[in-house]
Amino acid sequence: MPALSPDRQPATPLDWFATEAGQGVLEVEALAVARVLAGCPALPWAWLGVPGATPPDVPGGRGLLLRRHDGGFEGAVRCALPLPLASESLGAVLLQHALDDGFELDTLLGECERVLAPGGTLWLATLNPWSPYRLRWARLGLRVRGPGRWQALLRRAGFALDSVNVQWIGPYWRSAHGDAGVGPLDWPRAGLALSVTKRTYAIVPPRPLRSLRWQGAGSVRAGQLRG
């Protein structure tokens, strides 16, 4: 999708990512996306992005590339929720700002948990409400949440919170200068990325019942008599 001119009002909230300011965030995230897919097991993966985002270019044809469109997604397939994917079929799901307009949060995160195989990774990029960069998207209809709120949503979707990692990502203010980090000076960056691994818990088989020998009162007396 061609980038919008800086003074053109986005038609929808997510169209902001096609502006110069939005591209400054997405360009930094491209490196993070590549790292996630490099560590993906030999399973298919899915990328769900926004208008203006460049999908990852990974050879092998194992990726499903979808962009947000109206009330659903378009790309290799055109669909709404639930996703037309088999349960536990993907090694990674990447949500690149696909939820930043408040689109069916619980439903989509629940679908991500469903389609991920055990050990698979959900990577979620979103805007940082504490960043001064927020002045660039103010009053455009984007619904931005902090990491605590996202962790609560992930837990509600079935993910284990002890496997959630948070990274601050993107520029501080100048759209052409961005990076990523987890240090105390990184929290004002424009975006944040959360990654979480789908865990399964081993089913502990029940302990075999001990064979109990019951002795009635009559047999006790008989034993005592024989003694």
* 207 or 121, greater pLDDT: 121
List, edge to edge, every strand of the sheet that includes 191-197: 72-75, 63-69, 45-49, 90-96, 116-127, 191-197, 165-170, 179-181
The confidence score (pLDDT) of residue 201 equals 57
Asked if the model's pLDDT at residue 153 lies above 60, the reply is yes
Give Dmax (Cα) for the chain.
106
Q: Tell me the CATH number of domain 13-203, given options 3.40.366.10, 3.40.190.10, 3.40.50.150, 2.40.290.10.
A: 3.40.50.150
Residue 130: CB atoms within 10 A of its CB come to: 14
Strands 63-69 and 45-49, by their bridges, are: parallel
What are the phi and psi torsion angles at 168 (to 5°)? -80, 140
CA dihedral 114, 115, 118, 120 (to 10 degrees): -120
Q: pLDDT tens for residues 213-226? A: 444 444 444 444 34
pLDDT band at 176 (very low <50, low <70, confident <90, very high): confident
Helix, strand, or coil here: 111?
A: helix
pLDDT band at 38 (very low <50, low <70, confident <90, very high): confident
pLDDT band at 9 (very low <50, low <70, confident <90, very high): low
Mean pLDDT of 179-194: 86
Q: How far is CA 6 from CA 3, 17, 52, 88, in A?
A: 9, 11, 14, 42
**CA gap 53, 50 in Å, rounded:** 6
Pure H helices in 39-170 = 105-115, 147-157
Q: pLDDT tens for residues 101-145? A: 999 999 999 999 999 999 999 999 999 999 999 999 999 999 999
Asked if the model's pLDDT at residue 154 lies above 80, the reply is yes
* 42 or 45, greater pLDDT: 45
CA 78 to chain centre: 21
Q: What is the pTM of this model?
A: 0.82
**CA gap 129, 148 in Å, rounded:** 12
Percent pLDDT > 90 in the chain is: 63
Percent pLDDT > 70 in the chain is: 83
The confidence score (pLDDT) of residue 58 equals 80
Look at the chain and count its residues. 227
The confidence score (pLDDT) of residue 163 equals 83
Q: Are 113 and 158 in contact (CB under 8 A)?
A: yes
Q: Which runs of E-coded beta strand occur in 50-155?
A: 63-69, 72-75, 90-96, 116-127
The confidence score (pLDDT) of residue 204 equals 47
CA angle centred on 57, ends 53 and 63, rounded to 5°: 95
Mean pLDDT of 174-195: 84
Q: Mean pLDDT across the chain, nearest whole number?
A: 84
The confidence score (pLDDT) of residue 215 equals 46
The confidence score (pLDDT) of residue 162 equals 86
Helix, strand, or coil here: 216?
A: coil
Q: How far is CA 208 from CA 111, 203, 212, 222, in A?
A: 37, 15, 12, 32
